[in-house]
Amino acid sequence: MYRSAKLSTKTRGLEPWMIVLIVIVGLLITGLIIGLLVHFLVYDQKLDYYHGTFKISNAQLDGNTEQGYAYHYKDLREMSEILVDETFMDSILNKHYIKNQVIKLTPDTDGMKVDVVIVFQFPFTERRETREKKIHNILHQKIRNTRALKINVSSLQLDAMSSTSGKLTVQSCCGKRVTPTIINRIVGGEMAPKFAWPWQASLQHNNIHQCGATLISNTWLVTAAHCFKNYPSPRGWTVSFGTTIEPPLMKRSIKRIIVHERYRSPAREYDIAVVQFSPKVTFTDDIRRICLPDASDYFPPTSTVYITGFGALSYGGPSQNDLQQASVEIISNEICKQPHVYGKEITFGMFCAGFLEGIYDACRGDSGGPLVVKDSKDTWYLIGIVSWGDNCGRQNKPGVYTQITYYRKWITSKTGL
């Protein structure tokens, strides 16, 4: 009996534990397939890049005021970006539109030619030709109806870009980063998050950190002249990138050091130098150049600005391996030139930033590094170079910075930027 019963289960069907196992495995496989489908269809949609060009006929860059309105480069770029933002945010492509970036403004016979990269994220189901047609039509219609800028409708062109060249083009633009701002202090010390300050560099002599520097192109840095007081020749100098000195994200050797020809230590005027390294870097999320302001740009007192560096956390302390950051405020010359602050020590091409109550400040080793500001479109500009100060974080002794706008033409004359 016992034997025949066993035989009958074998012939009638599977053991109960096998059925349970099969159900569990089946559920797991179904779950995995659903998970992968959701991942690829919802989260892993690739970005689509388009290169658009159009011509604004009533705009000129300032300095050329014969026809139409004269704009600063920065304002015209911002107006064009806002126009493209509005175009797609108010359209049926709203859900798929990511962002746009003006990559070039070129003066043309009777206006300005604008080159812009427009980024979308579409579901896989939509055909490529359909998308391109929709984008073109929406842009065409907006341009025809726009009043603020007179855009030549027939000048509009739109081409799809490969995702590699789209990504590279967007990354090569200045002053953009991939992380939001969460901040405080260098003296007192707060570590900078990865990707937050991709233009920060460390200048090293015989592999020892000496100064900060800021990336302004794929081969040029801006820093302070006083960093080269002891070692004026490029020999022995290297630059490293990334949020730690050790290990460095990337390292390059310095080929050229151009110190301002009027810098005379121990005087503090003309504390600026440009430095060229080789080979060039490729921009990524962690290494990017910052934008330089126009010579005529003005950044008013009490504006919030940011300083970063590998410098000491207190006067006399050691340099840091992890990049530190602080949020400070621009202090007016009127306040900084008061006798109990710096008096006559503040001269042309300098400005103060920090707080009169002290605490948040740059310190030794931060010298040469950036003081930066963000505009309304989240584009970052270099406006100061850490130059000097009486001690660090002391009351009535804020940090003093080389004013980039004052030396803007000098930078162009040496680097072409």
Q: Which of 48, 271, 361, 366 is catalytic?
A: 271
Residues that bind ligand 4AZ (CB under 6 A): 361-364, 366-367, 386, 388-389, 392, 399
Please give the DSSP secondary-structure letter assigned to residue 246. S
Instruction: Compute the least distance from the CB of residue 201 to ligand 4AZ, in Å.
Output: 16
Cβ proximity to ligand 4AZ, 56 vs 400, nearer residue = 400
Instruction: Compute the least distance from the CB of residue 272 to ligand 4AZ, in Å.
Output: 15
Instruction: Compute the least distance from the CB of residue 398 to ligand 4AZ, in Å.
Output: 7
Cβ proximity to ligand 4AZ, 111 vs 399, nearer residue = 399
CB neighbour burial string for 237-265, b if at least 16 within 10 angstroms, e if fewer: bbbbbbbbbeebeeebebeebbbbeebee
How many C-alpha atoms does 284 have within 13 Å on its Cβ side? 11
The answer to whether the CB of 332 falls within 8 A of the CB of 378 is no
Sequence-separated (6 or more) residues with CB below 8 Å from residue 315: 363, 364, 391, 392, 393
Cβ proximity to ligand 4AZ, 190 vs 361, nearer residue = 361
Instruction: Compute the least distance from the CB of residue 397 to ligand 4AZ, in Å.
Output: 7
Instruction: Compute the least distance from the CB of residue 374 to ligand 4AZ, in Å.
Output: 22
Name the residue type at position 263: Y
Q: Where are the beta strands (DSSP E) in 169-225?
A: 200-205, 208-215, 220-223
Sheet holding 111-121, edge to edge: 97-108, 111-121, 47-56, 151-161
Cβ proximity to ligand 4AZ, 199 vs 388, nearer residue = 388
Rg (CA), the chain: 28
Strands 47-56 and 111-121: antiparallel
Strands 151-161 and 47-56: antiparallel
Instruction: Compute the least distance from the CB of residue 366 to ligand 4AZ, in Å.
Output: 6
Residue 285 annotated as catalytic? no
Find the residue with minimal CB distance to ligand 4AZ.
Answer: 389
Q: Which of 91, 202, 217, 367 is catalytic?
A: 367
Residue 260 annotated as catalytic? no
Cβ proximity to ligand 4AZ, 284 vs 396, nearer residue = 396
Cα–Cα distance for residue pair 365/393, rounded to 1 Å: 14
Strands 208-215 and 200-205: antiparallel
Cβ proximity to ligand 4AZ, 58 vs 333, nearer residue = 333
Q: Which of 226, 240, 260, 387 is catalytic?
A: 226
DSSP H/E element including 385: strand 380-388
Residue 72 annotated as catalytic? no
Catalytic residues: 226, 271, 367
